[in-house]
Structure 1
Amino acid sequence: MRGPPRPHREETTMHDHRRLGRELDLFDTDPLIGAGLPYWMPDGAAVRHSLEEYVRDLERRAGYRHVYSPVLGKRELYEISGHWAHYSDDMFPPMDLGGEQVVLRPSLCPHHALIYRSRSRSYRELPLRMAELGGMYRAELSGVLGGLTRVRAIQLNDAHVFCTLDQAVDEAADALRMIGEAYDALGIRPARYRLSLPGPGGKYVADPGLWARASAMLREVLDRGGVAYEAAEGEAAFYGPKIDVQVADPSGRESTLSTVQIDLHQPERFGLRYIGPDGERHRPVMVHRSIIGSLERAVAHLVEAHGGAFPAWLAPIQVMVLPVSDEQLEQAARLEHRFLERGLRVRVAAPDEGTLGARVRAARLVPYQAVIGPREAEGDRVALRLRDGRRVDPMPAEEALHRIRAAVTRRAGGLWDDE
């Protein structure tokens, strides 16, 4: 597939998330914390929290139940999963603790396999959908680290579906559909879909039958979804093939944001079972899926895709209240409180921050600007300016609040309900 036209250098630089993210005060780094370990500023944390709430809600509605699991595990855990044999070069060194070795986890799936294994399971429970927004750690080399796209401490939107063999294609197809729904809400356009297959060498589990079966199932998922895709050798996980949803940055560089995997390997390694309708024990299939990938990479892409002008429901500041003069400051403070009480992110830009024109320009990425002059203050009204340049006739403050909250709550693509 041919990708989108390559942007001009000026546009590429302007929308580089490393520059824009710092300008917008979303994140930063410090050498005392270390390379590949960014910290989040309040505005960046607000975007991240909105993403977390959105994806948890999306998963709940799809029948997932959420868990928490530790970011550490014994080395033995990753020996069983196969990570130690096939992935240890990308893991942090083990730490000696009380005669044992513990490791910062490189993925969440071994922990979820143990949660599944902790109880006797029946076919009536399947598919069992388990989700977590959890931390994992990769020992990335310094030369590949960059901004939020390649980091060493990762917060992953991860989930694992334990199901019968007959259910696996349906569950993977539902995961691909959820990715499409999330991309629509977030304004993300995939660059392409990739079927990632094993390549030569000892990185991959040696089981040709496993690879052939799982690959055929993922091809069925892609065909059912009606999306064009390319097969890529050498891009699979060590335990199985995967669907990778690729996104591109302004310079055309691709990265993987979302994945769907069918795993026939780890259920065997962990001895996972369920009791079937025949009363016998059977092996489940493990479907791995991540709707928005890591929160770090997702935010990096959203910064670049929107140039900092996030959809209203994601914006770190959703409403900027602009009193024309100090005489309207008291009314602006009351309006700010009302917006906050309705769950909106709001700030007052006071007159001492500059002229009204300067404050409007400074708030150019904020979806809604609520201007309060003498007439608005007297009648409890606001004059709204929308980020796209439109101006709305002065209206009662309560009506403006209701319409803004409605657009934010339904995660609408537009800014106003007459669109």
Structure 2
Amino acid sequence: MREETTVYDHRKLGRELGLFDTDPLMGAGLPYWLPDGATVRHALEEFIRGAERRAGYRHVASPVLAKRELYEISGHWSHYSEDMFPPMELGGERFVLRPSLCPHHALIYRSRAHSYRELPLRMAELGGMYRSELSGVLGGLTRVRAIQLNDAHIFCTEEQVADEARAALELIGGAYRALGIRPARYRLSLPGAGGKYVADPAMWRRAAAVLADVLDASGLAYEAVEGEAAFYGPKIDVQIADGAGRESTLSTVQVDFHQPRRFDLRYIGPDGGRHRPVMVHRSVIGSVERAVAHLVEHHGGAFPAWLAPTQLVALPVSEAELPAATDLVRRCLDRGLRAELAGPEQGSLGARVRAARLVPYQAVIGAREVADDRVALRLRDGRRLDPLPADEASARIQAMVDGYETALWDVDAPA
């Protein structure tokens, strides 16, 4: 497989692998997903939803547009409108494609009364949002105009903020391990000069102090950088780097005292009084588009098995083994694996093996394997395993996939 010095460009490789493409009639910054790319995207989305459920999040779904008034209340219109699409007139009202999910989640929280006993309330959504990016900065999947964002907002007491931010960092770390990637560095993003940020110095100091304490307590090296905060609050940015060393932000944790005040969010405290919650904004994998771009470049298309578009390919040596290979594919599909058949009509066995070089598991089936109901597995990294019973092979692959393992094979797994 690839050498560590190889530098991949996801814009080229993603098209070669049939993951995504663009069309002038759709427009710049609006890529579409081809079947294999959509499979990677959906696997990534299912993974993050499962991780969030296990961490105590509840999922919601909200519209991709709302009245301009919503973003006036949140502060997006006054601080961020240059990056938003212009309003659409409809029935005498003005609607805007959302640039962020947080105002919608604030309204969902506000729609019900809440007690301190419910907090922290963790609300998550994989939702669409839109940025009016200039055509000159658009490129591949990293800078797009239509974004599918892995977003979440935790509504909690001020005493709970540090624990929730720390837990969010741990969730990010676990996701990176499953994805086989590493952060380039951690950044504490603070406000800079000018009118870009909410004018409330005391609020900024409180929020920044919490995040700095969380980073210090987590033992993570970081640097504070001014001018990189959200307009409403500071954030921890988890930076990634491509093969050329160019950095971008993938994951964030933000503390927000501003929007709970703007939306007059409340909860009933143990004293029976009405108190203001804090919003912790948190994204584990950021936008699905940027995450896939980084994964394509980092892995060179050789994704972890659980993320691969095709996880197993069955390779009958000749037409005589075709029924057994077809049956193996069916067994794997029944287990929820993504399996395909590459029969002799597609060329010699060697040619088919080469064509499937990025598939994690290649199951070669010859006359001996048919007689014993076994498969000879070739792993993507070049290893060849002794023939295994077909059901055992598919069960062990399923266990690796279900466990989101980055290794291809566990030699110590029980038979």
> Contact (CA 8 Å) 1:196, 1:233: kept in 2 or not?
yes
* Distance in 2, Cα, partners of 1:395 & 1:265: 59
**Deviation digits for residues 106-139 of structure 1, max 9, x if unmatched?**
0000000000000111111111100000000000
When normalised by structure 1's length, the TM-score is: 0.96
* Distance in 1, Cα, partners of 2:234 & 2:388: 56
In structure 2, give the amino acid aligned to 1:299: V
Alignment partner, residue 348 of structure 2? 355
1:6-405, aligned counterparts within 5 Å? 11-12=6-7, 15-405=8-398
* Distance in 2, Cα, partners of 1:401 & 1:122: 48
* Segment of structure 1 superposing worse, 322-331 or 103-112: 322-331
**Deviation digits for residues 62-89 of structure 1, max 9, x if unmatched?**
1110000000110000000000000000
Percent identity, aligned pairs only? Answer: 76
SS of structure 2 residue aligned to 1:96: strand
How far is 1:350 from its partner? 1.3
> Contact (CA 8 Å) 1:26, 1:40: kept in 2 or not?
yes
Alignment partner, residue 3 of structure 1? none
In structure 2, give the amino acid aligned to 1:275: I
* Distance in 1, Cα, partners of 2:404 & 2:50: 12
In structure 1, give the amino acid aligned to 2:311: Q
Alignment partner, residue 4 of structure 1? none
SS of structure 2 residue aligned to 1:106: coil
SS of structure 2 residue aligned to 1:393: coil
* Distance in 2, Cα, partners of 1:45 & 1:294: 14
How far is 1:378 from its partner? 2.4
How far is 1:56 from its partner? 0.8
In structure 1, give the amino acid aligned to 2:314: V
* Segment of structure 1 superposing worse, 402-411 or 105-114: 402-411
**Deviation digits for residues 151-174 of structure 1, max 9, x if unmatched?**
100000000000001111111111
In structure 2, give the amino acid aligned to 1:356: L
SS of structure 2 residue aligned to 1:392: coil
**Deviation digits for residues 323-365 of structure 1, max 9, x if unmatched?**
1111211221111111101100011111121211111111111
* Distance in 1, Cα, partners of 2:57 & 2:394: 33
* Distance in 1, Cα, partners of 2:404 & 2:169: 20
> Contact (CA 8 Å) 1:196, 1:235: kept in 2 or not?
yes
How far is 1:379 from its partner? 2.2
* Segment of structure 1 superposing worse, 407-416 or 283-292: 407-416
- Provide the aligned length of Structure 1 versus Structure 2: 409
How far is 1:399 from its partner? 1.2
* Segment of structure 1 superposing worse, 350-359 or 228-237: 350-359
In structure 2, give the amino acid aligned to 1:197: L
* Distance in 2, Cα, partners of 1:416 & 1:187: 15
* Distance in 1, Cα, partners of 2:200 & 2:318: 73
**Deviation digits for residues 264-302 of structure 1, max 9, x if unmatched?**
000000000111111111110000000010100011111
The alignment's C-alpha RMSD in Å is 0.9
* Distance in 2, Cα, partners of 1:329 & 1:41: 28
> Contact (CA 8 Å) 1:155, 1:295: kept in 2 or not?
yes
In structure 1, give the amino acid aligned to 2:102: C
* Distance in 2, Cα, partners of 1:163 & 1:71: 25
* Segment of structure 1 superposing worse, 377-386 or 342-351: 377-386
* Distance in 1, Cα, partners of 2:203 & 2:302: 45
4+ residue runs over 3 A deviation: none
* Distance in 2, Cα, partners of 1:375 & 1:278: 75
How far is 1:416 from its partner? 1.1
SS of structure 1 residue aligned to 2:315: strand
In structure 2, give the amino acid aligned to 1:158: D
When normalised by structure 2's length, the TM-score is: 0.97
> Contact (CA 8 Å) 1:177, 1:225: kept in 2 or not?
no
* Distance in 2, Cα, partners of 1:185 & 1:117: 35
**Structure 2, unaligned runs of 5 or more:** none
SS of structure 2 residue aligned to 1:308: coil
In structure 2, give the amino acid aligned to 1:215: A
In structure 2, give the amino acid aligned to 1:122: S
